[in-house]
Structure 1
Amino acid sequence: MWEARAVEGRGPELLAWARSRLLSPAPLRRETFSAPQDRVLVITWWDAPYDAPLPELPEPDEGLALRAVHRWRFEAVGEGA
């Protein structure tokens, strides 16, 4: 999971930037979200062990993000777990 907050008013630009970044290899699935306060969230799904080295979206271009990007990894635990 990758989450960044744009400099005020630059949310659409940050969203376009995140959407334009390709990962190689490509994930099984990728979804991009926007939220109030010019936030952008990208979630990727991989067929790989939790600790596998995987490509990540980089920090946005200088002056686009209000703060450093937050990155987290999660693993599925199944329904009802």
Structure 2
Amino acid sequence: MTVALMWEARAAAGRGEELLAWVREQPLAAEPLRRETFRAPQDRVLVITWWDASYDAELPELPEPTSELVTRAVHRWRFEAVAGDGS
């Protein structure tokens, strides 16, 4: 099964590039199948990692940045791949 972990944060005013650089420097305790980083308006940064694991597996996640770097706590979601959905 493939599991995707999503990590999303919003940078404090004027600190979007700093948050993006911080995210890119963060190692994970294990290597995912794939890792992608995105940015969006309002200095938001999104990281998606894909893992070959069960939905409830214990997987390494990115940490919380310092409170000075973000406007709120990080949002995290976990999804499992759906095969044969016809799309």
- Give TM-score scaled by structure 2 length: 0.89
SS of the residue 2:78 aligns to: coil
Q: Distance in 2 between matches of 1:13 and 1:39?
A: 11
Ranges of 4+ aligned residues in structure 1 off by more than 6 Å: none
Mapping of residues 70-81 of structure 1, within 5 Å: 70-78=75-83, 79-80=85-86
Q: What is the root-mean-square deviation in Å for CA atoms of aligned residues?
A: 1.1
Q: Any unmatched runs of 5+ in structure 2?
A: 1-5
SS of the residue 2:36 aligns to: strand
Q: 2:12 aligns with which of 4, 7, 31?
A: 7
Q: Distance in 2 between matches of 1:58 and 1:25?
A: 14
Deviation (angstroms), 1:62: 3.0
Q: Is 2:60 the partner of 1:55?
A: yes
Q: Distance in 1 between matches of 2:67 and 2:11?
A: 11
Deviation (angstroms), 1:39: 0.1
Cα offsets for 1:12-38 (capped at 9, x unmatched):
000000010010111110000000000
- Percent identity of equivalent pairs: 74
Deviation (angstroms), 1:61: 2.0
SS of the residue 1:72 aligns to: strand
Q: 2:48 aligns with which of 23, 43, 48?
A: 43
